[in-house]
Structure 1
Amino acid sequence: MRGLGNTTTALRDLAALLARGHAQHKEGANAIRSLIHTPSRSFHTSHQYAIPRNRSRGASALRRQPYPGRVSLQYLGDDLPQPVTDPSKHTEVVTSPNHGLWGFFNKERVSIPTPEEDHRHGRAWAVEELRHKSWDDLHKLWWACVKERNILATQQLERERVKPGYGESEAYTRNRLVRDTQRAIKHALTERYYAWQEALKVAELDSDIDLSGKGPAYNPQTLDVDPSTGAEALSSTDEAVPELESGAKGDRRLEL
């Protein structure tokens, strides 16, 4: 019986030890489970309902409207100006009819002409026609084209602002013809420049031409006189020169 009692005591102690170990294991598992299922904290450290220090925070940069309840508007108490909707009460603006800015508009002084008005134009100047024009005429024609292109550019800006939906094709055609005229003017002036350069090369080789600028440019050294006939031949040539100048020389000038 004594051996049985010792066995019973040993079993009771073993059961208590196992129960204590199971309890410790359960507490450790619960601790690990609590760590795993703990919700994560918010990233920002500021309070969620903290009032921002910047009073302009939330105001729209485009609409200039504040965020409701955060920005206070400064109102001085004066009445705001009201727009005048009655046309009879509008202030009449008087401008000079010869103002320089009218040069950016057409003769009718309208911002956007109709397609029919833009379509009423002639053709571009040809190079063959401009070759007969003087320097002053080409200069005036060039600046007339510049003025016309300024008018077309002003109308195009107004057309992009209003967006009427018409006039782009006619204005483009008119602008292209004006540019063709300017291109033809440059072509004619380039031909004259090359002709002038070639004439300078020929004049440098001619002993009768003085390019120094210190006297007459043309100084003939010899005269075509026949020594056998003498003065009579010279007088006969003098009489024949006016007829030549009045006839063939005049035609030659028209060809140039």
Structure 2
Amino acid sequence: MSFFSRSFPALNRLKQLAFRPRGVEEFFENGKSIPTEKSWTGRAWRASELRVKSFDDLHKLWYVLLKERNVLAAQKEEARRFHISKQYFSNKGRQIKCQKSMARIKFVLNERRLAWVEATKLQRVANAQEAAVNTKVSTPTAGSSTAASAAESTVSA
């Protein structure tokens, strides 16, 4: 079991329900349009935690967060539709956590992209320098070949 699976048990639940037919209830938490009890949520993901994740893990986490944003948006719309006061129903904290986590995922992926661009640039420079050195070594000048042949004849005599 990977560290990601242990640290994010909702994904394990999603794997178990992967083949279940999906419908409108996917947009509601626990099948209810407006939750009756307050659910406990954690904090937003830190960039330092996301840097150690693989691309696949970040991709999965992005879609879990996107689904959470959709659930929260559906709940907000239902609360508006039923004229529920914001003081009784507000998921602003959860929305901010989702937005922060998604922004940090984008930041980490951009860091990786910039590092890749820089690495390919350095590799191109190194390849060009190596090609220049190989070109200088492989094409002897006229004077140096005569000096080399004279040195060989002196050594053989």
Both proteins in one fold, TM over 0.5: yes
Give the C-alpha shift of residue 102 in structure 1: 2.1
**Rg larger for:** 1
Structure scoring higher RCO (CA < 8 A, sep ≥ 6) equals: 2
Aligned mates of 2:36, 2:100 — CA distance in 1: 23
2:63 is matched with which residue? 143
Alpha-carbon distance change, 132 to 185 in structure 1, aligned in 2, over 3 angstroms: same
1:101 is matched with which residue? 24
1:183 is matched with which residue? 103
Give the C-alpha shift of residue 126 in structure 1: 0.3
RMSD of equivalent CA atoms: 1.6
Query: Is contact 1:152–1:175 with CA below 8 Å preserved after alignment?
Result: yes
TM-score if structure 1 supplies the norm length?
Answer: 0.40
Query: Is contact 1:104–1:154 with CA below 8 Å preserved after alignment?
Result: yes
1:229 is matched with which residue? none
Aligned mates of 2:59, 2:121 — CA distance in 1: 27
Higher share of residues assigned helix: 2
TM-score if structure 2 supplies the norm length?
Answer: 0.64
Any residues of structure 2 matched to 1:181-220 within 5 Å, and which? 181-207=101-127
| AA matched with 1:110 | K
Alpha-carbon distance change, 174 to 115 in structure 1, aligned in 2, over 3 angstroms: farther
Aligned with 1:206: secondary structure?
Answer: helix
Identity of aligned residues (%): 41
Count of residues in correspondence between the two structures = 107
| AA matched with 1:190 | N
